[in-house]
């Protein structure tokens, strides 16, 4: 039996703020107050640590989306300092929405841990960065949310066992994810949620779904399959310059998705009695009496 708790929705702003902290705050306000998201999520990178010298100095693979002459300059332009992240966290706290960040390297993990967010996200690309994961297990007390894109079943077993050995597995939220932007429906592979739930639901805190598809229909299906946490990229305009905007939800879509998920949660129950009060008038009026 699936445990249908109320769904939790993450609006991933990521780098869609275009390097502008005031725009980031506007996006937080819209995602939380208007759309009713539970969490807003950003990204933190130490680009000199994450990228090789060649990668840092190479041109952006899609120059039309670049904010710098090189890929490194582009990434630095979009990067908020730890002081700016603290400012954003305080802004979230004032609004009553949870602040979170994906960390892409050990330095970023240490920096973000220092401001004590409730949750930290581990992207699919580095869910095998065991030096960073070890540090988090030993030094960070919040939830550790992990995406499973680009990850084999054997690697996933190794990952969960790593957290079990350190007695941190019950702080883990494990997300089904396909690493593409955008992902066509046939590659979303929703039944992987059922696999994760069957194999790991007794070991981790929750199962989640991080979607990079278009539209909002599949997220409701993900919830009914057992994903309590639903994460979607968020933007104010899908035509804006940047890599992630095209696979993101605009405010009206995010608002509708959250409404649909909350209503689905209310509907996922059994009848309290054979004939509900709402049916009794109709039964008296319409039921065949022989």
Question: In the beta sheet, which residues pair with residue 146?
Answer: 122, 174
Terminal Cα-to-Cα distance of the chain (whole angstroms): 38
Confidence of residue 243 (pLDDT cuts 50, 70, 90): confident
Pairing of the two strands 119-122 and 143-147: parallel
The DSSP output letter for 81 is P
Q: Could you tell me which of 242, 237, 212 has the C-alpha nearest to residue 18?
A: 242
Higher confidence at residue 246 or residue 192? 192
What whole-number distance in Å separates Cα of residue 59 and Cα of residue 46? 18
Looking at the predicted structure, is the pLDDT value of residue 289 above 90? no
CA atoms within 13 A on the CB side of 74: 22
pLDDT at residue 72, as a whole number: 94
Model confidence at 246: pLDDT above 90: no
CA distance 18 to 163: 35
> SS3 of 70, please?
coil
- List the structure tokens of 53: 């010298």
Q: What is the pLDDT of residues 17-62, one digit of tens each?
A: 999 999 999 999 999 999 999 999 999 999 999 999 999 999 998 8
Alpha helices in 21-66 (DSSP H): 21-29, 47-50, 53-57
Q: Is the pLDDT of residue 1 over 80?
A: no
In CATH, what class is 8-286?
Answer: alpha beta
CA distance 58 to 61: 8
Rounded Cα distance between 32 and 28, Å, is 6
User: CB count, 10 Å around CB of 282?
Assistant: 11
- Give the mean pLDDT of 244-269: 96
Identify the pLDDT of residue 236: 97
pTM: 0.95
Phi-psi group of 180: left, alpha or beta (phi > 0 → left; psi -120 to 50 → alpha; rest → beta): beta
H or E segment and range at residue 223:
helix 217-224
Query: What pLDDT score does 124 carry?
Result: 98
Per the DSSP assignment, residues forming a β-bridge with 207 are 174
CA Rg value for the chain: 21
Domain locations in the chain? 8-286
Q: What is the structure's pLDDT at 3?
A: 82
Distance CA 170, CA 181 (A): 30
% of residues, the chain, pLDDT over 70: 100
Instruction: Tell whether the model's pLDDT for residue 117 goes beyond 90.
Output: yes
Gap between the Cα atoms of 230 and 264, Å rounded: 13
């Amino acid at each position: 039996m699936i445990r249908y708790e109320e769904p939790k929705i993450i609006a991933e702003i990521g780098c869609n703020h275009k390097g502008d902290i005031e725009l980031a705050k506007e996006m937080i306000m819209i995602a939380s107050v208007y759309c009713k998201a539970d969490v807003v999520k950003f990204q933190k990178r130490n680009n000199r640590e994450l990228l090789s010298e060649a990668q840092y100095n190479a041109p952006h693979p899609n120059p039309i989306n670049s904010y710098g002459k090189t890929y490194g300059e582009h990434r630095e332009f979009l990067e908020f300092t730890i002081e700016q992240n603290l400012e954003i966290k305080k802004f979230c706290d004032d609004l009553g929405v949870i602040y979170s960040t994906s960390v892409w390297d050990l330095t970023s993990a240490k920096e973000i841990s220092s401001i004590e967010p409730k949750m930290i996200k581990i992207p699919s690309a580095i869910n095998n960065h065991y030096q960073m994961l070890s540090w988090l297990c030993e030094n960070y007390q919040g939830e550790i949310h992990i995406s499973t894109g680009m990850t084999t079943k054997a690697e996933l077993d190794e990952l969960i066992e790593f957290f079990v050995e350190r007695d941190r597995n019950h702080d883990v939220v494990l997300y089904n994810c396909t690493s593409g932007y955008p992902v066509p429906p046939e590659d979303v592979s929703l039944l992987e949620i059922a696999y994760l739930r069957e194999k790991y639901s007794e070991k981790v805190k929750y199962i989640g779904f991080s979607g990079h598809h278009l539209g909002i229909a599949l997220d409701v299906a993900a919830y009914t399959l057992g994903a309590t946490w639903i994460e979607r990229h968020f933007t104010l305009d899908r035509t804006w310059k940047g890599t992630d905007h095209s696979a993101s939800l605009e405010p009206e879509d995010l608002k509708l998705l959250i409404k649909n998920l909350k209503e689905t949660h209310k509907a996922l129950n059994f009848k309290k009695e054979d004939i509900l009060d709402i049916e009794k008038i109709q039964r008296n009026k319409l039921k065949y009496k022989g």
